[in-house]
Amino acid sequence: MGNRWPRPAASGGDPRRAGRRIVVALLTAVALLAAGCSTAADDDDSRWSDSWITAQQAAVGIWEPNWSEDGFADHSVRQVVRPTTAGDEVRLVLSNLFGDRPLRITAATLAEPGAGAALRPGTVRPLLFDGSPSTEIPAGTETTTDPVDFPVAALRPVAVTLYLADPTGPATFHQIANATSYRARGDHAADPAATAFTETSRSWYYLADLEVKAAGQDEAVVAFGDSLTDGAQAGTDADNRYPDALAARLAADGSGRAVLNAGIGGNRVLTDSAYTGESAVTRFRRDVLDRDNAGTVVLLEGINDIGVSELDEPWAKPNPVVDADRLIAGYRTLIGLARADGLRVLGATLTPYRGAPYFSERGEAVRDAVNAWIRTSGEFDAVVDFDRALADPADPDSLAPEFDSGDHLHPGPAGYAAMAAAVDPAAL
């Protein structure tokens, strides 16, 4: 499919995007007819849509060890992801957005995972790039694989294995995957056995999107935010972040709606960070607007803007003091970007954090003011009140004990389930 960046405009509710799709369809039909080909196979409404994504970050080593800073050389990396919608064809987007050199993918495969690093025998399919088993992705860009016939079911994991023969340098990755990735020395892209994969990590590397082609798909929901969206303190390989629980809820309702997790741990609305990713206003177009078939974004971010100014740690710098007016101005920027692209915007209230390392009474006053604006301003299409869903009735500035992971900032699995339950499907 070739290298790309910026991404093509996402399909969704914007009439401009719908018009472009109609023009493309008409031009395709004309070309097929001129070649004497039938267009019957294109008469349904099958289209490519994101089924799983993760937000990309530059290499960094905080909070727990990972492979991003050293990168890879003569390594196979096996990673498991969970699509949220079904389809009969699949293609992957691989990212070298933050690389310092061209990234050579020597081989890549897709398969059904078995136990641990093992693959189910007979399910391994090669991933090709314009018909070739290898490709080179220039620094600062992404590439899309050729489509492969590989039926996937909603919420059933798939495994992607990349063989990286040449030194990659620092890797574009996603730090808090809450999923086990596996590494082996040498080329094991098509090897279904787990034996060679002796190293593990809890991050994803180079994977940006998994897209499926299917008919009748509703517009996707993008969950955009920081570690509470990313799923900090969720269980490893448990798929129990709040977007996971929301995806399961919508799948049970038969909506056919993807839920895409664009959270980054430690992320802020207003401040770019070498450690916790580009700010929300910087990355919003890439991580929300340019997603295939996105229709709604749930915005939950701002607690780090408020709290990080209380910290004097290297990863927190720069850490300006942020008041409610500045944070609201940032939200208005995001709302304007989303509306201009035809997306609905749901505002999520900031959750309690008394007892967290960066809690302060000043910060709590800012959180209260921001939440009051989210609830009453009318500037969002709807409000998701995560604050009230998670608050301790005896102390509304604190997480309820049954929802607290123990750090007084992040929910545990029960808290993430409560967040998903607080989302009104009708608002989507």
Residues 151 and 135 in one domain: yes
Omega within 30 of 0 (cis) for the link into 126: no
Q: Provide the pLDDT for residue 127.
A: 98
Phi-psi region of 250 (alpha: psi -120 to 50; beta: other; left: phi over 0): alpha
d(CA 150, CA 270): 40
Q: Can you give the CATH number for the domain in which 380 is found?
A: 3.40.50.1110
Residues 300 and 415 in one domain: yes
Provide the domain count of the chain: 2
Contact status, residue 32 vs residue 124, Cβ threshold 8 Å? no
Q: Provide the pLDDT for residue 2.
A: 46
d(CA 242, CA 412): 10
Establish if 310 belongs to a structural domain. yes
Instruction: Give residue-wise pLDDT tens across range 26-57.
Output: 333 434 344 444 434 444 678 999 999 999 99
d(CA 223, CA 226): 10
Residues 198 and 232 in one domain: no
Establish if 4 belongs to a structural domain. no
Residues 225 and 318 in one domain: yes
Establish if 38 belongs to a structural domain. no
Residues 342 and 322 in one domain: yes
410: CB partners within 8 A, 6+ apart: 227, 228, 232, 233
SS3 58: coil
The total number of residues written for the chain in this structure: 428
Q: Provide the pLDDT for residue 220.
A: 96
Domain-ending residue, one of 208, 230, 249 = 208
Residues 69 and 169 in one domain: yes
Establish if 112 belongs to a structural domain. yes
Residues 81 and 175 in one domain: yes
Contact status, residue 155 vs residue 128, Cβ threshold 8 Å? no
Buried b (16+ CB within 10 A) or exposed e, 348-364: bbbbbbbebebbeeebb
pTM of the prediction? Answer: 0.90
Domain-ending residue, one of 173, 208, 243 = 208
Q: Which amino acid is at 399?
A: L
Residues 178 and 232 in one domain: no
Establish if 36 belongs to a structural domain. no
Q: Which residue's entry shows tokens 């304007």?
A: 336
Establish if 27 belongs to a structural domain. no
Instruction: Give residue-wise pLDDT tens across range 132-147.
Output: 999 999 999 999 999 9
Residues 96 and 122 in one domain: yes
Cα–Cα distance list, 14 to 1, 339, 381, 384 (Å): 25, 9, 15, 23
Residues 309 and 235 in one domain: yes
Q: Dihedral sign for Cα 381, 386, 391, 396, please.
A: negative
Establish if 19 belongs to a structural domain. no
Q: Provide the pLDDT for residue 44.
A: 60
Residue span of the structural domain in which 402 resides: 216-427
d(CA 100, CA 11): 31
Low-confidence ranges of the chain (pLDDT < 70): 1-44
d(CA 76, CA 183): 6
DSSP state of 325: H
Residues 189 and 288 in one domain: no
155: CB partners within 8 A, 6+ apart: 82, 83, 84, 239, 247, 248, 251
Tally: H helices and E strands in the chain: 9, 23
Establish if 1 belongs to a structural domain. no
Domain-ending residue, one of 182, 208, 234 = 208
Residues 297 and 352 in one domain: yes
